[in-house]
């Protein structure tokens, strides 16, 4: 519709319902959302909100909200919205994989609080392009993720959309009261740890996007995915680090802070720094990158470390530990110590393998860029 | 994109990643979503899901999911998705009202479990048509609802959309273990009760739609809303029946079953009947309809009772009580006894003011119709 938001003068009903149609636009100014970016917009919109419920332990600003509904465990709530054409491309994303990934992305936020997910709700808006059979494939992926991660689908909403597919998933979980880990707990001297490897999902996406472009230019062509099963698998079917939370519990380790790596290592490190009031010193040599990702980065003429720092969608965990706990981590598989928390005044620095020091810059994903 | 879901042959990664692009469509059949309707689609998609977590008390199939996370109270979770052009029209819906209503719609589901809401999450996808200032108006409405209903905004997700505005809100609440009310508890002989009045929101919408059409045909015209503040207010700024839940507690009343009236009285009565395994006998004279709604229905040449049965968006409560509790309800303001629960074999009957008996038919809102 060409008309934008005309009936602004419908006063709030308590003031009496005066309705003046089609007024000239008297908004004093128009600020584009892209100017603020996702996090700036959220900060601005939520600034007037002040939690007042005693059950709200932690609201906006971490991977999940933390609620105390009585009992021994805290309740965790996290939510994500996935929009076709923004977050996924059905040209190369099978619906079953999309369903699986949409669940995993949310569960990852619960694990990032050191919690255990237990339930999800799934809402979706769908255009009439989707048949019941296609949606059954989507839900088969959702079901497989529920089965693997042991969570129940307990609700949702289904409606039509004017265009494309929109998914909104909310994950609920619990955590023992003394085990919850926030972004805000990092202390100067803590060690920075990373699970798994970074950058592979981004490089998988680059392959899929390249082949899509070739296909669009020349329909009928068969894509050459170069047998890159690891990279493409990381993009299309990521897993959340349920195993790491179990390993922490088994080894009596409680990280001092934690976040899941969805937007790239640099962006997540900034979140921890901002919430904890600290800086970070990162060793390039400590950033785990899979050999396939390194090779593919070079093929795309990209710096592998940049892919790890800014690539996104890895769904690994970034966490900090008290240095006294180093022996609880040192021998655990798939955890890499990659740096140290420093005073905020020292900022965020990358120490390269070449021996140079670079200030880290945030290049997290900005949907509004 | 014209290409629909081509890469179906990407097998599940555990089976090895074989990728065959642009296969011919070998789906054995294509069933249109509209053929099943919203509830039929949900039934079909969720049939393969079987809750296995001990904390899941009630999953899909009521106004809210019911979780036991330990402690004295159960946790309630409800979620709704609102899509521009489907659920709301920004031609006549101020963003502040939209924000308020989007919250209310969700809280209504928590009240319908006899619960108390405490937190919400708000996710939205927005096209670049929306300025920061416009979104601030939306959030001002959300904030006013949070303030009035005493709930905290604790999370959400914000992303861009290719078209329009999509809101997804999840409400969380709690209820004492012995106070939770399901759709499934109605017994033969129970009395059917309705709060407030029905049909007004639907008639408010009819006025707004009529004036929109006139305006579209002849821009510049001033709308004639006939000073129908009540009807338009019911459409643009509904309230949830927080007061009724408080009245139940104050009078020691626990309904045997309850549901909020979002899709029209008939549709909700069918839900209670289906979940409880019963039928219903409804007295037309017992259905509360506001005088303004009656007048406006006649003006639109609509039957006021049909507007109440099938109109939707009233967000009143439909509940049943044990006849022994009738004195706890009889003198409460704004509650109307409108019928009786009967055996399932007797079906659903409307006893008209003219003395006739009609079988009730479901005409709930079908987005996919």
A14: left (phi over 0), alpha (psi -120 to 50) or beta: alpha
Q: Is A334 within a domain? A: yes
Q: Are strands B165-176 and B73-83 parallel, antiparallel or unpaired?
A: antiparallel
Q: Verify that A77 and A192 share a domain, yes or no.
A: no
In this complex, do B56 and A152 lie within 8 Å of one another by their Cβ atoms?
Answer: yes
Residues B107 and B196 in one domain: no
Minimal C-alpha gap between A131 and chain B (Å): 5
Q: Which residues of B touch A204 (CB under 8 A)?
A: none
Q: What pLDDT sits at residue B15?
A: 37
> What are the pLDDT digits (tens) for B40-86?
899 999 999 999 999 999 999 999 999 998 888 999 999 999 999 99
Q: Whose CA is closest to A67, among B348, B237, B152?
A: B152
**Which two structure tokens, joined as six digits, stand for B45?**
């998609």
Residues in chain A: 369
Interface test with B, best of A19, A98, A234 (most B CBs within 10 A): A19
Provide the mean pLDDT of chain B: 89
| ipTM metric | 0.91
* B174–A69 CB contact, under 8 Å: yes
Spatial distance between the Cα atoms of A69 and A86, rounded to a whole number of angstroms? 36
The verdict on a CB contact (< 8 Å) between A118 and B55 is yes
| Residue B17 pLDDT exceeds 60 | no
Task: Give how far A207 is from chain B: nearest CA, Å.
Answer: 13
Residue of A4, A53, A163 lying closest to B129 (CB–CB) = A4
The predicted pLDDT at position B28 comes to: 59
pLDDT given for residue B362 in this prediction: 64
Q: Which of A6, A140, A159 sits opposite B81 (nearest CB)?
A: A159
Q: Find out whether A292 and A207 touch, Cβ atoms under 8 Å.
A: no
Q: Phi and psi at residue A239, in whole multiples of 5°?
A: -120, 150
Hey, of B6, B11, B19, which one would you mutate to test binding to chain A, going by the most A CBs within 10 A of its CB? B19
Provide the CA B91 distance to its chain's centre, in angstroms: 22
Cβ contact (<8 Å) for B32 and A128? yes
Among candidates B7, B87, B150 on the partner chain, residue whose Cβ is nearest the Cβ of A52 = B150
The pLDDT of B313-323, averaged and rounded, is: 98
Considering A122, A150, A176, which residue would you say is the last residue of a domain?
A: A176
CB spacing of B41 vs A81 below 8 angstroms? no
Residues of B in contact with A60 (CB under 8 A): 153-156
Quote the crossing angle between the two packed helices B33-46 and A132-149, to the nearest 10°: 10
The token pair at B227 is 């000073």
**Residues of A with Cβ-Cβ distance to B153 under 8 angstroms:** 46, 49, 51, 59-60
Give the count of beta carbons closer than 10 Å to the beta carbon of residue B137.
20
Contacts of B64 in chain A (CB under 8 A): 155
Cα distances from A220 to residues A232, A270, A342, in angstroms, run 21, 44, 54
Let me know whether A214 and A167 are in one domain: no
The whole-angstrom distance between A36's CA and the closest CA on chain B is 9
Nearest to B124, CA basis, from B148, B98, B144: B98
Which pLDDT value is given to residue B363? 56
* Chain B: closest CA distance from residue A191 (Å): 29
User: Using a CB-CB distance cutoff of 8 angstroms, which residues of chain A are in contact with residue B109?
Assistant: none
Is the domain of B77 the same as that of B224? Answer: no
Q: Is residue B43 part of a domain?
A: no
Residues A346 and A199 reside in one and the same domain: yes
Q: Classify residue B32: in a domain, yes or no.
A: no
β partners of residue A160: A126
Q: Which of A208-212, A322-326, B220-224, B243-247 has the lowest mean pLDDT?
A: B220-224
Confidence (pLDDT) at B367: 45
Q: For chain B, how many structural domains are there in total?
A: 2
The two three-digit tokens of residue A350, written as one number: 């990358």
> Is A14 among the domain residues?
no
Whether A189 and A129 share a structural domain = no
Query: Which chain A residue has the Cα nearest residue B144?
Result: A49
Closest residue on chain B to A63 (Cα): B155
Do A233 and B52 lie within an 8 Å CB cutoff?
no
Q: Are residues A120 and A188 in the same domain?
A: no
Residues A238, A273, single domain; the answer is yes
- All residues of chain A having their beta carbon less than 8 Å from the beta carbon of residue B19 are 223, 225, 232
CATH of the domain at A121: 3.30.1330.10
Q: Are A227 and A299 members of one domain?
A: yes
The residue among B93, B236, B76 whose CA lies nearest residue B151 is: B76
The verdict on residue B353 lying in a domain is yes
- The rounded distance, in Å, linking the Cα atoms of B214 and A325 is 71
Q: Do A43 and A59 touch, CB atoms closer than 8 A?
A: no
pLDDT digits (tens, 9 = 90+) for A169-186: 999 999 999 999 999 999
Q: What is the phi/psi pair of residue A272, to 5°?
A: -65, -45
Q: Is residue B221 part of a domain?
A: yes
A43, A71, A134, A152, best to mutate vs chain B, most B CBs in 10 Å: A152
Instruction: Name the 3-class secondary structure at A147.
Output: helix
Q: Are residues B110 and B166 in the same domain?
A: yes
* Residue A62 · residue A56 · CB < 8 Å: no
SS3 (DSSP) at B341:
strand
- Nearest one of A79, A14, A101, A64 to A314, comparing CA atoms: A101
Minimal Cα–Cα distance from B262 to chain A, Å?
Answer: 13
Residues (pLDDT < 70) of chain A are: 1-28, 362-369
A42 contacts on B by Cβ (under 8 Å): 156, 158
Residues of B in contact with A223 (CB under 8 A): 19, 21
CATH number of the domain to which A211 belongs: 3.90.650.10
Give which of B42, B340, B354, B309 is closest to B202, Cα–Cα.
B309
- Alpha-carbon gap: B52 to the closest alpha carbon of chain A (Å): 7
Asked if the Cβ–Cβ distance from A118 to B154 is below 8 Å, we say no
Inter-chain contact A81–B159, Cβ cutoff 8 Å?
yes
User: Which residue from A7, A144, A152 is facing B51, i.e. has the nearest CB?
Assistant: A152
CA distance B60 to B366: 19
Instruction: Domain of residue A248: give its range.
Output: 183-359
Q: Assess contact for B248 and B193: CB atoms under 8 A.
A: no
Q: Is the pTM of this model over 0.90?
A: yes
In this complex, which of A144, A168, A223 lies closest to B168 when CB atoms are compared? Answer: A168
For residues A275 and A278, what is the distance between their CA atoms, to the nearest angstrom?
A: 8
Q: How close does chain A come to B286, measured CA to CA in Å?
A: 29
**Residue A18 counted as domain residue:** no
Token duo for residue B162: 């290719």
Considering the domain boundaries, does residue A366 fall inside one?
Answer: no
Q: How big is the A-B interface in CB pairs under 8 Å?
A: 378
Q: Which of B148, B176, B204 is the last residue of a domain?
A: B176
pLDDT band at B218 (very low <50, low <70, confident <90, very high): confident
Q: Are residues B104 and B202 in the same domain?
A: no
Nearest Cα of chain A lies from the Cα of B141 at a distance, in angstroms, of 9
Report the residue of B102, B170, B211, B227 to disrupt the A interface, i.e. the one with the largest count of A CBs within 10 Å: B170
Same domain, B148 and B220: no
Given A155, A176, A197, which residue is the final one in a domain?
A: A176
Model pLDDT, residue B18? 36
CB contact under 8 A, A81 and B157: yes
Phi then psi dihedrals of residue A127, to 5 deg: -80, 170
On chain A, the residues whose CB falls within 8 A of the CB of B134 are: 5, 27
Q: Three-state DSSP class for B244? A: helix
Backbone angles phi, psi at B283, to 5 degrees: -90, 120
How far is B81 from chain A, CA to nearest CA, in Å? 6
């Amino acid at each position: 519709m060409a008309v934008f938001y005309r009936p602004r003068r419908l006063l709030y009903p308590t003031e009496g319902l005066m309705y003046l149609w089609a007024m000239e636009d008297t908004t004093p100014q128009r600020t584009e959302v892209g100017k603020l970016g996702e996090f700036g917009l959220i900060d601005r919109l939520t600034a007037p909100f002040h939690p007042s419920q005693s059950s709200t332990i932690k609201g906006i600003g971490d991977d999940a909200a933390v609620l105390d509904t009585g009992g021994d465990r805290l309740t965790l709530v996290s939510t994500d919205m996935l929009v076709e054409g923004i977050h996924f491309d059905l040209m190369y994303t099978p619906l079953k994989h999309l369903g699986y990934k949409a669940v995993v992305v949310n569960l990852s936020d619960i694990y990032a609080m050191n919690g255990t997910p237990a339930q999800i709700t799934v809402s979706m808006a769908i255009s009439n392009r989707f048949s019941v059979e296609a949606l059954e494939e989507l839900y088969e992926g959702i079901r497989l993720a529920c089965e693997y991660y042991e969570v129940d689908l307990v609700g949702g909403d289904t409606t039509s959309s004017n265009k494309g597919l929109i998914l909104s998933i909310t994950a609920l979980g619990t955590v023992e009261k003394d085990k919850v880990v926030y972004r805000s707990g990092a202390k100067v001297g803590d060690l920075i740890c990373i699970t798994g490897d970074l950058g592979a999902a981004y490089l998988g996406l680059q392959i899929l996007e390249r082949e899509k472009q070739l296909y669009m230019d020349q329909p009928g062509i068969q894509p050459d995915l170069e047998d890159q099963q690891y990279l493409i698998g990381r993009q299309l079917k990521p897993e959340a680090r349920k195993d790491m939370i179990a390993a922490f519990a088994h080894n009596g380790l409680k990280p001092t802070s934690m976040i899941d790596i969805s937007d790239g290592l640099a962006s997540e490190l900034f979140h921890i720094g901002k919430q904890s009031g600290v800086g970070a010193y990162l060793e390039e040599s400590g950033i785990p990158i899979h050999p396939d990702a390194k090779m593919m980065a070079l093929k795309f003429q990209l710096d592998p470390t940049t892919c790890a720092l800014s690539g996104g969608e890895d769904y690994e965990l970034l966490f900090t530990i008290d240095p006294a706990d180093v022996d609880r981590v040192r021998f655990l598989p798939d955890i890499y110590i990659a740096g140290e928390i420093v005073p905020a005044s020292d900022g965020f620095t990358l120490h390269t393998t070449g021996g140079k020091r670079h200030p880290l810059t945030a290049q997290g994903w900005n949907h509004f860029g």
